[in-house]
Structures are given as structure tokens and as C-alpha cells.
Amino acid sequence: MSVRGDHDASTAGLLRGLLADARAAGGLVFIDLTAATFIDTTIAVALLEAFLADMPPRLRFVMPADSNPRRTFQTIGFGTGLPVYERLEDAVHHGR
């Protein structure tokens, strides 16, 4: 699932619905935030909630180190302990 552009509380409901659909399909879910130019804490929390909804967690996150999404995750303390990758290829390779 690719997240592009700016996302905040106004798009959180849509994102939650898309995450639920992706999780319902089964298997690992790769959330590619490479093209996301801005996410606020509402979006970060929605992503974390989806991550925690499955045991074991099936979401994998792709976000470059210098990106807004990565900084947002780190600012609110979600930067450690989550499967975060620099590139989609790395996430897919480690997901096998």
C-alpha cells in the first residue's frame, strides 16, 4: 500500500479503511511512505494501531531516514521496535 502526498486528521478515516482492507486480504502488508510528503501524528497513530491489531504484527513500513514520516514516528516514540525499512525491496526481502 503506497501513501502519497500530505495526510492528516482529514484523511485518517480513509487511511484506516484502506488499512483494514489490506489487512483483511491476509499475509504481510507493506506500507510504503516513500512518497508521503507529510503525515501528522493522527496518521502515525492510525498506522501503529493497524500494526498492533494483528498478532503477530503483519505490517512492514518503508520510509527513508530523512523523510517527514520517519521524523514523525521518531518524534512520538514509534521509531524503535517497528519493522521500518529504507526501501521497499528491503522490506519485501526481509518479509520472506
Taking 90 as the threshold, does the pLDDT of residue 77 lie above it? Answer: no
| Total domains, the chain | 1
Mean pLDDT of 56-78: 92
* CATH label of the domain that carries residue 67: 3.30.750.24
All cell numbers assigned to 54 = 494483528
SS3 77: coil
What is the pTM assigned to this prediction?
0.91
Domain that holds residue 44: 5-95
pLDDT at 95: 67
pLDDT at 94: 84
Q: Where are the beta strands (DSSP E) in the chain?
A: 5-7, 29-32, 36-39, 59-62, 84-85
